[in-house]
Amino acid sequence: MLVNRLVGIRLLMQAGRSALRPYRVRDENGLRVIRSFYMKMPGNEKYNILGWARQCARIYSRYEKRFGGPVLILAHSVTWAWYASYLRRQRYGIPYVIVEHRSFFVWSSEEARQMVESYHVPLFKLAYDNCEKLILVSDSLRKGIESLVPSTMERSMVIPNMIREDLFLPPEEARNSDPFVFLWAGRLEHVKGVDLLLEAVKSLSDKTDVVFSVRLAGKGSLRAELEQQAVALGVNDLVSFLGRLSREEMLKEMQEANCKVLPSRYEAFGVVLIEAMATGLPLIATRSGGPDSIVTKENGLLIERENADELAGAMQEMMANINAYSAQKIRAQCLKRYGDSSVMEQYNQLFLQLLAE
């Protein structure tokens, strides 16, 4: 099988000096990966889509010459891995499957809708109508795409994202809740709702004597602005901006935290939530798409978007009732639904079915 990473480019990006190399073949965690780079033309997305796909085609030809052709292509997202896969199908008859995880398809905000240009829709329809199967990572994503391209209904299915069961482990000792630590992780961008979290921290600090802190892991264009907001609200002593963390550092943060909070404005899934669940952490998240089907009464609290007061109330409720959540049960629920062995079996069954047809 040839996944998109083997065909060409993982990200549309501005090339550096490494663009002088036609491609690189590397072994990454036991998987053969061919990487190349595409020189993006600023302000011309239509041209970039075509150029990106052509670059993928060149890398595909090199792959086929060295390693043989695939029987199935797995394309990650309709923007724009599908187009390279579609061209391979048209020329060689190789079927492709799309795994969709773009958060703007959940349509839970005007901001998300504005990310789809009018000329995108016919391209999306062409992609989805010609794939063997469309895999969505959440029910909300499936509903969003079906509302945009109704013809996808017959060939779409939901298979969630997964976590490595052996990487995200609970702490060896019981967590300390003094102070009570809320952990957030992601990109410091508007869509992630960190501004709302800071407002909630202010509200919570005004009405509780419980000692707590909030730790923010990640980087983004709004870091300076959010740091200034924390100072203006007078909560900078309660909030720590950690920057980008390694996998090991992130695991340590999850093992030492008491609750994972995700106040996003829209989310296709929410991988950070299931990673936290695997370590036994309860959750607070917004009804923003993907989290709607992840958060249950057994593992956390689900609140409305764009509501700092409700978020503060949920944080206060979590601190008061933390002992009602079982870390062991949360992890068991996570592995049953999102563990790699469970999700991989769903993919294996699908691929066997497609190849037998």
The residue extents of the domains of the chain are 2-158, 180-338
- Let me know: does 12 contact 40? Beta carbons within 8 Å: yes
Helices 139-148, 120-130: crossing angle, 10 deg rounding: 110
Q: Phi and psi for 167 in degrees, rounded to 5?
A: -100, -40
Q: What's the pTM?
A: 0.85
pLDDT in tens, 235-287: 999 999 999 999 999 999 999 999 999 999 999 999 999 999 999 999 999 99
On the question of a common fold for 2-158 and 180-338, the answer reads: yes
Confidence bin at 21 (pLDDT 50/70/90)? low
pLDDT in tens, 220-236: 999 999 999 999 999 99
The CA distance from 339 to 342, in Å, is 5
- Let me know: does 349 contact 172? Beta carbons within 8 Å: no
The CA distance from 259 to 232, in Å, is 25
Q: Please, what CATH class does the domain formed by 180-338 belong to? A: alpha beta
Say yes or no to pLDDT of 77 above 90: no
The CA distance from 165 to 259, in Å, is 20
Could you confirm whether domain 2-158 is CATH 3.30.70.20? no
pLDDT at 282: 99
pLDDT in tens, 283-340: 999 999 999 999 999 999 999 999 999 999 999 999 999 999 999 999 999 999 999 9
